[in-house]
Amino acid sequence: MARVFKVLATIVAWILFVLGIIGVGGALMAHLDAGVPWQPYGAFALTLAYLVLAVVVMKLRQMLE
């Protein structure tokens, strides 16, 4: 495949990974700062989906080689 697809896959995977890590940290901080019982299930599900998608994109990138 073209080199541009590998580069784009790498960029997208890094963006998803960074957003996932920031999201997990943000959800944890919001949970700790809330002071009341707070259910961050949606935030955790979204950030975990980002992390899973980052892995999927990197696997696809490996298949392009």
Cβ–Cβ under 8 Å, residues 26 and 46:
no
What is the pTM (predicted TM-score) of this model?
0.77
pLDDT tens digit sequence for 34-48? 766 667 777 788 888
Q: What is the pLDDT of residue 50?
A: 92
Q: What's the N-to-C CA distance of the chain in angstroms?
A: 7
SS3 content of the chain, % helix, strand, coil (to 5): 85, 0, 15
pLDDT at residue 14 greater than cutoff 90: yes
